[in-house]
């Protein structure tokens, strides 16, 4: 009988505790940029998120009827890995929770951590580096489990004791965690042992100045200072093909000195509301005084080719070049379905004859106010991450989606971060 009473009392206490605390979680928000991580030869998409939680905690007095409540606020940083083949989460690791650990009584806890930020820095073999609330973290590439934070790095590196900087601007990545210590000495931490050594920056190749065919310096047009430069020119099956609006094509053809051919980013860009079509780009070899160069002469429409709203080619990362596909040969085109906030981003695969093989609409918005869109080209697959604008009761929110597309037929799988 005594044992039964003890069990019943324990159950009663657990029920009372569960009734004393309720929790509300806001939708998670992406922190920094997602990254493709190599897990022993297998790519995984890593997404770092920040999520706010509010807990209503019962603060009881001397009698059962004198209970009162307070609100405690917490911010959680979680790391998730997504399978690029299925767009499904593989694992989730909570790295850090920030809150008021001195909260007591009935007063709401102090809101600590609302301005804390996080971002992925880079991968060094089996170690991935992050910054969480201005503190460096090393986690395992296989499972995201913490290997060391700031305190752990100081224990492994006595020379850094008390010298880790407290601001994120003093951290970077160069095949390992780069940091400027509080005494202004530069260090890099590389390898599985997480040992710090003096840092010498990796030399950055400096391109030689461009010269004209006559040997004189070439004046290079400035790139647009804001935003991405769309790829609108490609060579397909021995032809130069432009994807331009009529106004953009006229500007491209005005190429007296060959700058538009040599620097396609200098061609007029009508922006997201431009309806673009395909043009054959005709060129001619020109000699002007003692300089020889090629230049555009005119653009002629490609008969029967489709047109696209805000059409532009999917680019090779880090370049202005369009991605060229094979089996069969062709290209990928980004475009929008509408000009308003109900519009969505779409992808079309075209063959070398500019015939559409498939088109897939993504659950992602592309507006001046939308979060940035990331994409990764993998064997036989395009992985895309972005957010769709949602308007509920007059309140605008963004729902993040990861979409994996088959390059063969455009079939897709989607995972919603807030689902």
For residue 336, what pLDDT is reported? Answer: 97
Give all strands (DSSP E) within 84-180, no chain letters. Answer: 88-99, 118-124, 127-132, 135-140, 146-148, 171-173, 177-180
Higher local confidence (pLDDT), 272 or 1: 272
In this structure, of 117-121, 270-274, 311-315, 332-336, the range with the lowest mean pLDDT score is: 270-274
Instruction: Give the separation between CA 356 and CA 41, rounded to whole angstroms.
Output: 33
Report the chain's mean pLDDT, rounded to a whole number. Answer: 91
For residue 59, what pLDDT is reported? Answer: 81
Q: Which residues of 285-297 are buried (b: 16+ CB within 10 A; e: fewer)?
A: eeeeeeeebebbe
In this structure, of 1-15, 34-48, 151-165, 267-281, the range with the lowest mean pLDDT score is: 1-15
Q: Is 233 helix (H, G, I), strand (E, B) or coil?
A: strand
pLDDT in tens, 311-350: 999 999 999 999 999 999 999 999 999 998 889 999 999 9
The two beta strands, 146-148 and 21-25, are unpaired
Would you say the C-alpha torsion 36, 38, 39, 43 has a positive or negative sign?
A: positive
Instruction: Give the separation between CA 365 and CA 344, rounded to whole angstroms.
Output: 5
pLDDT at 204 over 60: yes
Cis amide bond preceding 163, omega within 30: no
Share of the chain above pLDDT 90, in %: 76
CA 205 to chain centre: 26
Share of the chain above pLDDT 70, in %: 93
The DSSP code for 58 is E
pLDDT at 244 over 80: yes
For residue 18, what pLDDT is reported? Answer: 43
Which two structure tokens, joined as six digits, stand for 234?
């490609």
pLDDT in tens, 280-301: 999 999 998 888 999 999 999 9
Angle at 188 between CA 183 and CA 190, to 5 degrees: 150
User: pTM of the full predicted structure?
Assistant: 0.89
Phi/psi for 78 (5° steps) reads -120, 150
Beta-carbon count within 10 A of 43 CB: 16
Q: Is 397 helix (H, G, I), strand (E, B) or coil?
A: strand
Beta-carbon count within 10 A of 17 CB: 10
pLDDT in tens, 11-22: 444 444 444 568
For residue 5, what pLDDT is reported? Answer: 56
Beta-carbon count within 10 A of 368 CB: 7
Would you say the C-alpha torsion 264, 265, 267, 272 has a positive or negative sign?
A: positive
How many CA atoms does the CB half-sphere of 361 hold within 13 Å? Answer: 9
Beta-carbon count within 10 A of 347 CB: 22
Which two structure tokens, joined as six digits, stand for 125?
């073999």
pLDDT at 25 over 60: yes
Higher local confidence (pLDDT), 394 or 88: 88
In this structure, of 6-10, 37-41, 123-127, 384-388, the range with the lowest mean pLDDT score is: 6-10
- Answer whether 212's CB lies under 8 Å from 218's CB: yes
327-335: long-range pairs with CB below 8 Å, 24+: 328/352, 328/357, 329/236, 329/237, 330/236, 330/357, 331/234, 331/236, 332/382, 332/407, 333/243, 333/308, 334/310, 335/308, 335/309, 335/310, 335/311
pLDDT at 203 over 60: yes
Q: How many helices (H) does the chain have, and how many strands (E)? A: 4, 28
Higher local confidence (pLDDT), 59 or 382: 382
For residue 202, what pLDDT is reported? Answer: 86
């Amino acid at each position: 009988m005594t044992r039964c009473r003890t069990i019943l009392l324990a159950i009663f206490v657990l029920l009372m505790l569960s009734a004393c605390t309720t929790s509300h979680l806001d939708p998670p928000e992406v922190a920094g940029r997602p990254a493709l991580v190599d897990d022993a030869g297998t790519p995984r998409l890593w997404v770092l998120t920040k999520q706010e939680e509010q807990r209503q905690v019962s603060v009881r007095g001397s009698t059962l009827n004198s209970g009162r409540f307070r609100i405690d606020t917490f911010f959680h940083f979680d790391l998730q890995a997504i399978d690029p083949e299925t767009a499904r989460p593989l694992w989730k690791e909570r790295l850090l929770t920030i809150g008021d650990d001195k909260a007591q009584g009935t007063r709401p806890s102090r809101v600590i951590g609302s301005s804390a930020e996080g971002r992925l820095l880079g991968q060094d073999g089996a170690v991935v580096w992050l910054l969480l609330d201005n503190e460096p973290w090393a986690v395992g590439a296989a499972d995201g489990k913490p290997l060391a934070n700031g305190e752990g790095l100081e224990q492994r590196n006595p020379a850094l004791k008390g010298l880790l900087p407290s601001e994120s601007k003093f951290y970077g990545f160069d095949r390992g965690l780069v940091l400027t210590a509080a005494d202004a000495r530069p260090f890099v931490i590389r390898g599985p042992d997480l040992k710090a050594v003096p840092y010498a920056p990796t030399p950055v190749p400096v391109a030689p100045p461009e010269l004209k065919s006559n040997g004189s310096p070439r004046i290079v047009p400035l790139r647009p200072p804001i935003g991405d430069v769309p790829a609108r020119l490609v060579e397909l099956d021995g032809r130069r093909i432009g994807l331009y609006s009529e106004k953009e094509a006229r500007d491209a053809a005005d190429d007296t000195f060959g700058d538009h051919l040599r620097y396609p980013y200098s061609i007029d860009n009508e922006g997201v509301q431009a309806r673009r079509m395909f043009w054959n780009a005709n060129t001619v070899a020109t000699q002007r005084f003692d300089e020889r160069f090629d230049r555009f002469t005119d653009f002629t429409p490609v008969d029967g080719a489709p047109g696209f709203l805000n059409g532009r080619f999917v680019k090779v990362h880090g370049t202005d070049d369009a991605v060229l596909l094979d089996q069969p040969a062709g290209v990928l085109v980004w475009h929008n379905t509408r000009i308003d906030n109900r519009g969505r981003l779409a992808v079309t695969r075209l063959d070398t004859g500019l015939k559409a093989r498939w088109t897939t609409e993504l659950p992602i918005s592309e507006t001046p106010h939308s979060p940035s869109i990331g994409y990764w080209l993998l064997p036989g697959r395009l992985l895309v991450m972005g957010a769709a604008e949602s308007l509920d009761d007059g309140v605008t929110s963004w729902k993040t989606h990861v979409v994996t597309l088959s390059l063969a037929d455009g079939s897709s799988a989607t995972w919603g971060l807030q689902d």
